Structure 1
């Protein structure tokens, strides 16, 4: 098997040319952001994996980049993965989101040029080597949707979904990685698939958040040429397990007593660089203690991209969004599953259960090939909350998804898995 690896900075030269997720201008750079690229080639099968330290990518950017790559290199579209790490402290490059200022034409051109050149470097400098797939358990992430009483809902005798740590909620507790080695057994790069919103750094400064800290730590361990492609998991309802207990500094003793009756456990944010690095170290510690390891030195890739229309809760064919499902079967024991949304963790857990009986390991990757918004489960749609209702304006939607999208998504995924001979029957 041949492996091509490359890495290049995509940190904007001019901070005034980009905006953050909340539409503010960045005032500083906490750390540089990068594109990380790994290409694989073996026996007439090849695949290209691009990981970008961005909050997300849109379908126009991805389509243009894929066409540019296909014009020079021999990759099929379904074998090209373009994914964002979802670092919230990175430039916002999508122009369709209603409450985000888009000021990034200059940066998009710069980004496309850098990524294309970096792809070329990876392909022109391929080496012989092999890979090891590993699976580890993690305790570093937690569900972020919890039914609670707040002051307003308490007066209505009704609990509401809030952004709070929920230790009882579903969470994808696996870290899946592939470590790549040259034929002298020297580590040269890796894939990491882990699920948790990168929301630790301060929004005013450009940062790659904890995915970038993982990459930097691996470079310190293995050398400056080591390439880490971080593939964000299905983390639509998952955050880092870094929590605190709020205190209410109010003068009114009665009000303070009332507020203290409610859920006071919350997520920590605006962490300094040292604490973000500590979190990355905790993930790597778990990564270094796998319970499954599989070696491979050949790849035989079969892949499918399928697009389905997700209906909204009003029966209007003009409403909804197109979900892009990309599945690459790499050999007989590994699959890479990517979608263009903020996918809820329950989908990843379900897919793993579907395939574990056949001994197949998966990486589940959101924020890939575009962005259409949160993809909740039927249960979550009934419960409501930010991901279901509060984020609609951000993603340009006037109404939420139908309760039936979970059924339609799972049906389509099963059909693809069956076509790729990963499921024996539907």
Structure 2
């Protein structure tokens, strides 16, 4: 196989007013946000793996970039994996574009991605892939049932889902790392696939968050300033970094202090400094690189396909979004599954179990964005990802609980797996 790689930094117009998803102004004058590209060639075709340090790419912007790359390099769109690291400390890209004109911000993104793709395609070397696969206990479920404070005052003990660390909740802690080496044995690039919302950096200044720190650490580790890392965000719709602290509400009302002490003590850590973010990223990389090399791939055989499924919304609304399940296969045992949403972690665990001993790179925030993709149980429980985020994705109502069956049936079809009786996750 032949391998090409490149990274280009996003340079935004300093006069352009930019905002984060929290609607606060964000400074990007000294942005460390980048686009990383790994290009792979077999005997007949090419595949591009592209990672951008953005929250997500809106559907129209995503489609524009894919179309240009496909036409420029004569490759099918299914051979292009375009994903976002999902860092929250970046300019907010509206997932629903209502106008046909492309803004200055969009133009910057398009130009940067195309420049990185061009460089990766031009500089190709012969090489191989080493696969590392390890469980890394560095993330935690972020959906926890907390007693409702207001209802408790009326002597009603009712729990509601809150954004809190939940050690009992499901989590996908598998980290799959692909090290791309130039013959005879020089590492030149990596794909790191791990699931945890990049929400550690403050949103007042552009930051690639812990995925960006992973890129820096790997450059230092291999002593190569040209080393390229494509961080591919896993199915992290209900997962955050496992960094939390006990609630401190000194000065608040006594009732609030008592409530927090008995019912709501653990909160996710805020105001995380750069040293702690670097330490978090280093724990992931140290564990990943210390794991044994599971397999080496000398030759690849590229195939790809996409299944599009119309999802149904609650309330007999027929205008639900289209879910895309995107498969890229590099060898008999190495597959990518990329989905255009913030996917709950239960799905990646289920998918890996379905393909037995094969290696599966599960990628969310890829190919556009349609919103959170929860399980049937999570929909019944409610919470931010089910109800309170709908306006961000221009979604009129929540998904039906049948979404879980739809996703699983579509996955079986995409991977040519014999249908089985589908059971919803617990």
Q: Using structure 1 for the length normalisation, give the TM-score.
A: 0.93
> Following the alignment from structure 1 to structure 2, what is the Cα–Cα distance between the partners of residues 97 and 151?
39
User: In the alignment, does 2:80 pair up with 1:80?
Assistant: yes
Answer whether contact 1:164 1:265 (CA < 8 A) is retained: yes
> 2:213 — aligned with what?
213
Q: CA deviation at 1:30?
A: 7.0
Match of 1:138 among 136, 139, 143: 136
Q: CA deviation at 1:97?
A: 8.1
> Following the alignment from structure 2 to structure 1, what is the Cα–Cα distance between the partners of residues 337 and 95?
26
Match of 2:149 among 136, 139, 151: 151
Answer whether contact 1:334 1:360 (CA < 8 A) is retained: yes
Q: CA deviation at 1:56?
A: 0.5
Q: CA deviation at 1:85?
A: 0.2
> 1:67 — aligned with what?
67
> Following the alignment from structure 1 to structure 2, what is the Cα–Cα distance between the partners of residues 251 and 173?
37
Q: CA deviation at 1:315?
A: 1.5
User: In the alignment, does 2:14 pair up with 1:18?
Assistant: no
The count of aligned residue pairs is: 415
Q: CA deviation at 1:15?
A: 6.0
For residues 183-262 of structure 1, what are the structure 2 equivalents within 5 Å?
183-222=183-222, 223-250=224-251, 252-262=253-263
**C-alpha distance 257-368 of structure 1, shift in aligned 2 (>3 A):** same
3-state DSSP of counterpart to 2:324: strand
- Output one character per residue of 1:225-283: Cα deviation in whole Å (capped at 9) or x when no partner: 10000000000000000010012223544553344221210111221111111111111
**C-alpha distance 312-211 of structure 1, shift in aligned 2 (>3 A):** same
3-state DSSP of counterpart to 2:196: coil
> Following the alignment from structure 1 to structure 2, what is the Cα–Cα distance between the partners of residues 387 and 255?
26
**C-alpha distance 393-97 of structure 1, shift in aligned 2 (>3 A):** farther
Q: Which moved more, 1:287-296 or 1:61-70?
A: 287-296
3-state DSSP of counterpart to 1:199: coil
3-state DSSP of counterpart to 1:205: coil
- Output one character per residue of 1:373-409: Cα deviation in whole Å (capped at 9) or x when no partner: 1000000000000000111121112210001010011
> Following the alignment from structure 1 to structure 2, what is the Cα–Cα distance between the partners of residues 110 and 142?
35
- Output one character per residue of 1:136-195: Cα deviation in whole Å (capped at 9) or x when no partner: 111100000011113124243211111111111111110001100100311100000000
> Following the alignment from structure 2 to structure 1, what is the Cα–Cα distance between the partners of residues 288 and 300?
23
Q: CA deviation at 1:11?
A: 3.7
User: In the alignment, does 2:161 pair up with 1:165?
Assistant: no
Answer whether contact 1:43 1:298 (CA < 8 A) is retained: no
> 1:325 — aligned with what?
325
Q: Using structure 2 for the length normalisation, give the TM-score.
A: 0.93
**C-alpha distance 153-216 of structure 1, shift in aligned 2 (>3 A):** farther
Answer whether contact 1:39 1:122 (CA < 8 A) is retained: yes
3-state DSSP of counterpart to 1:261: helix
3-state DSSP of counterpart to 2:219: helix
Query: Is there any run of 5+ residues in structure 2 with no aligned partner, and where?
Result: 421-426
> 1:312 — aligned with what?
313
**C-alpha distance 411-255 of structure 1, shift in aligned 2 (>3 A):** closer
> 2:47 — aligned with what?
47
> 2:424 — aligned with what?
none
Q: Which moved more, 1:81-90 or 1:303-312?
A: 303-312
> Following the alignment from structure 1 to structure 2, what is the Cα–Cα distance between the partners of residues 15 and 295?
48
> 1:399 — aligned with what?
397
Answer whether contact 2:26 2:90 (CA < 8 A) is retained: no
Answer whether contact 1:97 1:395 (CA < 8 A) is retained: no
Q: CA deviation at 1:217?
A: 1.0
Answer whether contact 1:248 1:260 (CA < 8 A) is retained: no
> 2:410 — aligned with what?
412
For residues 243-282 of structure 1, what are the structure 2 equivalents within 5 Å?
243-250=244-251, 252-282=253-283
- Output one character per residue of 1:348-397: Cα deviation in whole Å (capped at 9) or x when no partner: 000011112xx211010000000011000000000000000111121112
**C-alpha distance 15-38 of structure 1, shift in aligned 2 (>3 A):** farther
> 1:112 — aligned with what?
110
> Following the alignment from structure 1 to structure 2, what is the Cα–Cα distance between the partners of residues 97 and 164?
32
